[in-house]
Amino acid sequence: MSSSIRRSLLAGERLWQRARFACKQAPTRIARDIFSWRFALLVLSSLIVVYPLLWVVSLAFSGQQSLTLVRLPEDAGIAQQLMVLIPLPEHWSLANFRAVLTEQPFLRWLGNSLIVAFATTIVGLSLSCTAAYAFSRFRFPGRARGMLLFLISQMFPAVLMLIPLYVIVVQWLGLGNSWLGLILVYSITALPFCVWMLKGYFDTLPFEIEESALLEGASRWTIFTRIILPLARPAIAVTGLFAFMTAWNEFILASIFMDEESRYTVPVGLRFFVSDYASEWGFFAAGSILVSLPVMLLFLWLQRFLVSGLSAGAVKG
Amino acid sequence: MIIAPICRSQLAGESVARSKPRCSPAGRLLQALLCLLIFFSGKVLAAETLNLWHGYRGAERAAFEQLIEDYNRSQSDVQVKALAVPFGGYADKLSAALPRGQGPDLFVFAHDRLGGWASAGHTVAPIDRYVGEHLLGRFPPNLIEAMTFGGELYGLPLAFKSPALILNTDLVQAAPATTDAMVAEARRHTDRKAGRFGLAYSYTEPFFHGALMNSFGRGPFDRGGNLDLANSANIASVEMLARWARQDRILPEEPSSTLVTSLFNQGRAAMVISGPWMLGEIAPGVNYRVVPLPVNSESGLPLAPWVAVEGLFLSPWSEHPAAAVAVMDYLTSRQSAEKMAIEGGQLPANISAFEHPSIATDETAMAFRRQLEATVPIPNLPAMTLLWVPLENVLKKVVKGAAQPEAEMRQLQRSLSADLARLERSRARGEHRAQMPAWLWLLPAALALAAWLLWRRYRAQLAAGWRTHRTAYLYILPAILGMLVLVLFPLLYGLLLSFTDTTVFNEHTPLWSRLIGLDNYAAILGDFHLWRGQGSERSLDFDNFYWTLLITILWTVSNVTLAVGLALILALALDKPIFGRAWFRLILILPWAIPNYITALVWKGMFHPQFGAINQGLQVLGMAPVAWFDSIGASFFTGLVTNVWLSIPFMMVVILGGLQSIPRELYEVARVEGAGRWFQFRTITLPLLKPVLIPAVILSVVWTFNMFNVIYLVSDGAPAGANDILITKAFRIGFEKYQYAYAAAYSMVILALLFCYAMWQMRVSRTLEATR
C-alpha cells in the first residue's frame, strides 16, 4: 500500500519535473497554450469546480465546526467585496485534522477501506473483464438478455435493496461483520457499469489482431490476456477507478453489515461527526479531505493509462 | 440492584458464550457441538456477552464506555460489549437486524420511534416484568411516559434532550418572562440589513415548533391518540410563528442548526432556542446563559418544548433479558447518571443526579432541568412519524406567506388522516388473519411443473447451446451468478411486496393475509387528483404521481444533457496536450473524489437566501437576490447545478478513456483532406466515441433518475415536495409514511419506466451491434 502511494507521489513528482522541463524548453508553446480558448475554458471550469471545495477546505482548516458567515463590507469596491466571498479561515489551524486522526481509529478505518476498495476493484474487474469480453466477441443465445440483466440491476432503487441484501449477505451467506460480504456486494454493484463500459471499449478494438492470432493457433484465453487486456488499459483504468469509488464512498451497507468498530470502513467513521441535532462539520470536512487523498493519488497513478492504449501502444493499425 | 444477583444465579449454570444466531444452520450445528464439548469437558465459560449499541461520540461516548468498562470489571458473569453506530445508519441498522433475530441485546435510541417498533413487532420487548417500582421512581413521570406504548413499558430513560432559551449575555441580560417580552427584546436586536437577529432557531422544524404548539394547550394528538391538528390551539400556534417571522421579522430565513450556531457565535443572534447539543459548539469568546423558555403571553402557559428521551431498549431476541435489564439498572443508577452528567455532559433522566454538588451548581444543567418541568415528550405514536415532514412543509409555506395557517392545517389534517386510515386498514386486515389460500400451494407446484416441462422441451436445445457456446458462457458465468444472487432476489422480494398492503402494522403477519393484488399499482397509476383543495385554496397536488413523474423526467433529461455535454467539452479540451494538463485533470475530478455528502451540503449553504455565497455575489454585482428554495424553478435549479457539478468528473473520465481508443491517424488523414474541426468532430470523434458514450449515457440516465442524495440533501423537494422525484417520493412513502408495499410498488413502476427507456434507447442506437 505504502509503495503504491510512494509510486503515486513519484508520478506526481515526475509530472512536475516534466512541467518544469517543458517550461524551460518551449516558452513560446506555453505562451500559445495559455492564451488559447482551450486554456481559458479549463481555467474557468477549474475555478467553478474548486470554489465549493474551497468552503470544505477552509472549514477543515479553520479549527472550528461551523463557518464564519460572510459579512459584506459596506462601502468597498466590487472587487474587494467579491474577495470577501472567497472562503478563507480566519486562523489556519490543524486542530480538526488532529482531532479526526487521534480521537478515533481513523487510520485503521482508512486501512480497512483501502483493503475493501482494492479487493472490490480486483474482484469487480476480473468478473467484468471476462464477461465484457464474451459479450463483445462471442455471439451466443441470451447475449442481449444478459446485457439487459446487468442494466436492470441498476434500475431498482438502492434504498429498497437494503433489507433483501441484509437477508442474503448476513442471514443466508453468514457474511455479516466480514469484509468478504462487503466486497462481494460492492463488486457486484459495480459490475453493470464495468461490464457495459468495457464491452463498449472492447467493441472499438480492431478484430484483425485477434483473427490473425487465432490463425496462428493462440487460444481464446491467451488472446484475452495477452492482447485484449493490454490494449484496453485506458478502459480498465476508468472502470477500475469506478469500482474503487463504489466501495470507497459507500456508507449505509457498511454500517449495517459491520458489527465491530475495528472493522468499520472510513465513510462509516466519517458519519460519526454528523447527527440529528449537532454536527461537527469541521471534523467532517477534515475527514473528507483525508478520505479524498488516496483517491487523488490513485488517479495520479492511473493517469498514465489514460494516455496510452491503442493510439500510443505497440500495435498500430 | 436487586434483580441483578438473582438473575445472575439463575443464569450462571447455563452460561454459554453468546454468539448471535447469525450464521447458517451448519454454523449453528457447529456451535451446538462446541457447546457440548465445553459442557462435557466440565468447563463453563466464565461470562455471557451482552451486546449494546449506541450512537454516542466524543465526551459522551468516552463517559459511557467508561461506565460499561467499570461494570464489566465489577462482576464476572456478564460482559457488556458496546458498539457505537453513526447516527446516519443507526435506525436502518436496527430495523434491518432486529426483526430478523439479529442485532444487539440492548440499545440506546431516542424514544420517538418506539410506537413504530412496538407496532411492527419483533423489534423491542416490554420490560415491565423485570422492573420494580423502585427503579421507576428514579425518573420523572413524563420520561417514563415517553418509554411507554400501549400501556407497556419498553425501556428505561437514560437521558433527555430538550430545547431551552440561550441568551448572548453581552446583548441580553435578563431572561424574558413572556413571549411578548421576548419578541420586544428580539426586535431591539434585529437589524436585517446587517444580518442581525433578535431570535434564531430552526423554527420550521416541527421539533422546535412543538414549544409553541404545546403552549396553547393541545398538541397534535387528542387524549385518545387521534390526530387533531386543525384545532384552534394549533392554528393559533402557527399564526403566532407567522407573526414572528412576517410582522415582527425577528427571525432569519431558511434556518438550520448550523446557521443558528454560526449566527450565535458571531454575536448576530441575541437569543437562540436550542438544546444541550449546541453548547459544545459555542465559540469560546461568547458569553451565554441558558434559561427556560418564557410563558406564552396569549395562552398564559409556558412554552413547552418537545423532549427527546434517549432510552435503553431491550431486544426481544435477547437470550438474557434479565441480565440486560440489570445493565439498564446499572446505567441509570444515580452514580452512573452523575458520571454521564459530569464527564459526558449529558442531562441524565435519573434526576437525583442533579443533586450532586457539581451539577447543582452548574447553571446551564440546572436551567435544562427546570425546563424539563415544562416539557412534553415527543408523542411516540407511529402517527407522529408521518407528521414531521408534512408539518415542516406547512410551516415553511406559512412563514413565507405562501399559505394561510388555518387552511393549510385543515388540508394537512385531511391528507394525514387519509394516510393514517390506510395504515389502519392494513392493521385491521392483519388482525383477522386469513387462512393460507389453497391456490398458494398450487403456485409453487405449478411453477415447478412449468419449469420441468420447459426443461423437457428445450433440454436438447439448451445442451446443444451449451456445447457450442461453452467458452462464452464460461466467461460470463461468474458475473451472471453474482448478479442473480444479489439482484434477482431483492427484485423478487420487491415485486412480491408490491402486491401486498404491507405497512408497519402488519409486517409480521403471514404474506398471504397481506396480498391485495394490483391495488397499489392501480392507486399509483390511477392517481389523477392533480388538484387539491377547493376555491381559493385550490393548488396543484405535488404528491400526485404524474407531477412527480414530470419533474423526474425533466430532472433526468436536463442533468444528463448538461453533464454529458459539458463533460464532452472538457474531455476534448483535455485530450490534446496543453500546458498544465495533468493538473487540470486532477482538479476537474475533485468533485468525484470528495465525499458528496459534504459537497452537496456546501452547495445547499451556498444557495442560502440570506447568507449564501451565490446571493451575496449577485448582490455585489448589483442584482437582486433570489429566494432559491421558494419557487419550483429556482429550487429545481439548485439540485440541477449541484448534480451536474457532481457528475461531470465521472463523465469526463469515461469520455477521456474513450477518446484514447480513437486512432490519431484518422485525424491526420482528415486534416490532409482539408476537413475542418467541426467536421472532424462529427465524422470521427462522435461516431467512434459512441460505443463508449451510449452505455455511459444509458447508465447515467438510470442513475440520475434514481439520484436520491442530491435531491434529499440540497432542495429536499422544496417547495413543499414539488421538486421530489420518484425515488425520493418512494422513500418518503416507505420510511416516512410506513407504507412499505406502496413504496415497493412505486419502485417497480420506476423499474418499468427505466426498462422501457433502456429498450427504446438500445433500439435507437443499436449499441448492441455497434461496430460489426
Count CB pairs under 8 A between chains A and B: 412
Query: What percentage of chain B reaches a pLDDT higher than 70?
Result: 92
Contacts of A151 (CB under 8 A, 6+ apart): A192, A196, B698, B699, B702, B758
- C-alpha to C-alpha distance for A5 and B490, rounded to whole angstroms: 38
ipTM associated with this complex: 0.88
A317 near B CB under 8 A: yes
- C-alpha to C-alpha distance for B604 and B607, rounded to whole angstroms: 5
- C-alpha to C-alpha distance for A234 and B138, rounded to whole angstroms: 67
Is it the case that residue B765 has pLDDT exceeding 90?
no
3-state DSSP assignment of residue B156: strand
Interface of A with B in 178-197 (CB under 8 A): 184-185, 187-188, 191-193, 195-197
CB of A157 closer than 8 Å to CB of B753: no
CB hemisphere CA count around A145 (13 angstroms): 3
Is it the case that residue B41 has pLDDT exceeding 60?
no
| Predicted local distance difference test score (pLDDT) of residue B766 | 66
A243 near B CB under 8 A: no
- pLDDT interval class at B638 (50, 70, 90): very high
Contacts of B81 (CB under 8 A, 6+ apart): B49, B50, B51, B52
Higher-scoring residue by pLDDT: B8, A124: A124
Report the residue from A19, A185, A238 with minimal CB separation from B654: A238
Is it the case that residue A313 has pLDDT exceeding 50?
no
> Per residue in B54-64, pLDDT tens?
999 888 999 99
Mean pLDDT of chain B: 87
- C-alpha to C-alpha distance for A240 and A237, rounded to whole angstroms: 5
Interface of B with A in 700-719 (CB under 8 A): 702-703, 705-706, 708
> Per residue in B538-579, pLDDT tens?
777 888 899 999 999 999 999 999 999 999 999 999 888 888
Query: Taking CA atoms, what residue in B is nearest to A256?
Result: B93
CB of B313 closer than 8 Å to CB of B111: no
Higher-scoring residue by pLDDT: A222, A25: A222
Query: Taking CA atoms, what residue in A is nearest to B687?
Result: A204
H/E element holding A4? helix A2-25
Residues of B in contact with A251 (CB under 8 A): 88-89, 597
- C-alpha to C-alpha distance for A192 and A186, rounded to whole angstroms: 11
B92 near A CB under 8 A: yes
Are A201 and B661 inside 8 Å of each other by CB? yes
For the residues A48-65, what does the mean pLDDT come to? 91
- C-alpha to C-alpha distance for B132 and B626, rounded to whole angstroms: 60
At B222, which amino acid appears?
A: D
| Predicted local distance difference test score (pLDDT) of residue B203 | 95
| Predicted local distance difference test score (pLDDT) of residue A316 | 37
Is it the case that residue B43 has pLDDT exceeding 80?
no
Which of B346, B598, B659 to substitute to test the interface with A, most A CBs within 10 Å? B598
- pLDDT interval class at B10 (50, 70, 90): very low
Is it the case that residue A281 has pLDDT exceeding 60?
yes
Higher-scoring residue by pLDDT: B218, B660: B218
Residues of A in contact with B265 (CB under 8 A): 66
| Predicted local distance difference test score (pLDDT) of residue A22 | 58
Domains belonging to chain B, first-starting first, are: 3-160+309-361 (3.40.190.10), 164-304+379-426 (3.40.190.10), 545-738 (1.10.3720.10)
- C-alpha to C-alpha distance for B218 and B210, rounded to whole angstroms: 10
Higher-scoring residue by pLDDT: A308, B118: B118
| Predicted local distance difference test score (pLDDT) of residue A179 | 92
B275 near A CB under 8 A: yes
> Per residue in B275-305, pLDDT tens?
999 998 888 889 999 999 999 999 999 999 9
Domains belonging to chain A, first-starting first, are: 2-94 (no CATH), 100-306 (1.10.3720.10)
Is it the case that residue B246 has pLDDT exceeding 80?
yes
Cα B93 to chain center, whole Å? Answer: 12
> Per residue in B398-446, pLDDT tens?
999 888 999 999 989 998 999 999 888 888 887 776 667 777 778 888 8
| Predicted local distance difference test score (pLDDT) of residue B158 | 95
Query: Taking CA atoms, what residue in B is nearest to A193?
Result: B699
| Predicted local distance difference test score (pLDDT) of residue B69 | 95
B760 near A CB under 8 A: no
| Predicted local distance difference test score (pLDDT) of residue A4 | 56
For the residues B594-622, what does the mean pLDDT come to? 90
Interface of A with B in 194-213 (CB under 8 A): 195-197, 199-201, 203-205
Closest-CA distance, A96 to chain B, in angstroms, reads 13
For the residues A133-150, what does the mean pLDDT come to? 88
Is it the case that residue B13 has pLDDT exceeding 70?
no
| Predicted local distance difference test score (pLDDT) of residue A211 | 86
- pLDDT interval class at A305 (50, 70, 90): confident
| Predicted local distance difference test score (pLDDT) of residue B506 | 84
Classify residue B373 by burial, with Cβ atoms within 10 Å: 0-12, 13-18, 19+: exposed
Are A159 and B570 inside 8 Å of each other by CB? no
Report the residue from B100, B699, B768 with minimal CB separation from A193: B699
For the residues B472-492, what does the mean pLDDT come to? 87
Is it the case that residue B515 has pLDDT exceeding 60?
yes
Is it the case that residue A76 has pLDDT exceeding 80?
no
For the residues A54-58, what does the mean pLDDT come to? 93
Is it the case that residue A9 has pLDDT exceeding 80?
no
| Number of other CB atoms surrounding residue B150 within 10 Å | 13
Are A69 and B83 inside 8 Å of each other by CB? no
Instruction: Please state whether beta strands B376-377 and B306-314 pair in parallel, antiparallel, or not at all (unpaired).
Output: parallel
H/E element holding A94? none
For the residues B601-626, what does the mean pLDDT come to? 90
Q: What are B2's three cell numbers?
A: 436487586
Enumerate the β-bridge partners of residue B165. Answer: B273, B291
Q: How far apart are the first and last CA of chain A?
A: 37
Residues of B in contact with A280 (CB under 8 A): 281
Are A164 and B479 inside 8 Å of each other by CB? no
Stretch among A166-180, B5-19, B585-599, B732-746 having the lowest mean pLDDT: B5-19
Q: How far, CA to CA in Å, does B464 sit from each of A89, A113, B468, B618, B629?
A: 70, 45, 6, 70, 62
Closest CA relative to residue B714, chosen from B597, B560, B610: B597
Are B486 and A141 inside 8 Å of each other by CB? no
Mean pLDDT of chain A: 85
For the residues B247-255, what does the mean pLDDT come to? 92
- pLDDT interval class at B14 (50, 70, 90): very low
Report the residue from A38, A70, A159 with minimal CB separation from B573: A38
CA geometry: angle A126, A128, A129, nearest 5 deg: 65
- C-alpha to C-alpha distance for B121 and A54, rounded to whole angstroms: 48
- pLDDT interval class at B121 (50, 70, 90): confident
| Predicted local distance difference test score (pLDDT) of residue A1 | 43
Is it the case that residue B687 has pLDDT exceeding 70?
yes
Is it the case that residue B73 has pLDDT exceeding 60?
yes
Interface of A with B in 61-80 (CB under 8 A): 64-72, 78
Are A159 and B731 inside 8 Å of each other by CB? yes
